[in-house]
Amino acid sequence: MFTVDLVVVGLGYVGLPLAHRACAAGLRVAGIDTDARVIAGLSAGRSHIQDAPDIGQMLAAGFTAATEFTTVSTADTVVICVPTGLVDGEPDLRAVIAAGRRVAEHLRPGTLVVLESTSYPGTTEEVLLPLLESTGLVAGVDFNLAYSPERIDPGNGEHALENTPKVVSGLTPLCAKRCEAFYEELVDSVVVAAGLREAETAKLLENSYRLVNIALVNELAVLCERLEVDVWDVLRCAATKPFGFQPFSPGPGVGGHCIPVDPRYLANRARAEGLPCSMITAAQEVNAGMPAYVVRRARDILARDGRVSGARVLLLGVTYKPDVGDVRQTPATGIVRQLRNLGILVGYHDPYVSGFLVDGEPVPAESDVDKGVRRADLVILLQDHRTLDLPGIARHAHTVLDTRGRMEGENVERL
């Protein structure tokens, strides 16, 4: 029987880089995704994500992709990288459950099954384990079960999968040992957690830490404006302390999958245990209020010039982070919605986004950034993509609201 070293379930922002790295390491890799368009694109050598690995290189190494799960029966290791999100603010594990059921249909003795999808502490044991053991196989005896949180950071040119330490864990010590051995083939450093729940919680802590600290500097930015204090100089000065301080920057809000979503998994689990998670809740409220704060600042600037309704505003960068094309949970959505409610004409320029919808209505795209900047009554910098000529924009814009602290000039106001 033809066998593969690895089957990756879910070929998105996490699964595809993992499959690519495994191919580069010399493993025989197969991928599974329920989206037929994704499979068709990959089979033709095209990637559907930014930071796209060389799909042609993967295919040359023997990579195959399919919507069916039959390759699971031939795999030494199966890694589940399906998305987890929220439905009405509650954890949505439908993709994990569906993947677990399909993997179980083809699971054979001796396989290592690893969950990489982010979720609350206990997910691997309480959700995935019963699905896999419904086959009659026993985890830790007939097959190995492990959890290893993903740490993919799109757009990060310094830290890739292979040079980012990988946290691993297992249902049993032997499961953890096998998981450790697998990832040692792919990454430079492997860290073994005490157990599955410790590894699951570590992932949530990482992003909750970012959520809380971003909220702290966002709240500080609002206060500093009221006090007529330059928050960016405050941060510059504080960052010179060589111990006890790590700098975070304020901005128009948080976006993407990790920061707006992952901490809610921790808070949800805490509430299920009857415990408060007040710091995470407060941080979410602060960050959720930043788009409205940006709009208030924009309205005040336009009002000083005598025109709000009918004014033209150009947004620079509508992705959730710089130098990526991902608009998931982007704060630009709320900013567009609220500017429109004020009767403001909103357009955008973003070299990574060819079309941007808010409430089903397209936001006009300005391909010629110089023309758009000169025509706008106000330019709002939301994401400081490296491709943007920020000094040139500052020179030609009527007025700029810089939410990233990157621009200078008499016509520039910083967040």
Active site (catalytic) residues: 258
Percent helix, percent strand, percent coil in the chain, to nearest 5: 40, 15, 45
367 in Cβ contact with 306 (< 8 Å) = no
- As a whole number of angstroms, the distance between CA 318 and CA 340 comes to 15
CA 73 to chain centre: 31
Task: Give the integer Cα–Cα distance in Å for 176 and 112.
Answer: 10
Instruction: Check: CB of residue 19 under 8 Å from CB of residue 58.
Output: yes
Half-sphere exposure of residue 279: CA atoms within 13 angstroms, side-chain side: 10
User: Do the beta carbons of residue 147 and residue 124 sit within 8 Å?
Assistant: yes
Read out DSSP for 101-152?
HHHHHH--TT-EEEE-S---TTHIIIIIHHHHHTTS--BTTTBEEEE-----
**Token duo for residue 360:** 């089903």
Return d(Cα 345, Cα 328) in angstroms, integer: 23
Tell me the CA distances in angstroms from 81 to 55, 93, 199, one per residue in order. 18, 12, 15
With beta carbons less than 8 A apart as the criterion, state whether 83 and 15 touch: no
Beta-bridge partner residues of 75:
4
**Distance (Å, rounded) from C-alpha 141 to C-alpha 306?**
74
**Structural contact between residues 356 and 327, judged by C-beta atoms closer than 8 angstroms:** yes
Strand partners, 78: 7, 113
User: Letter for the amino acid at 366?
Assistant: E
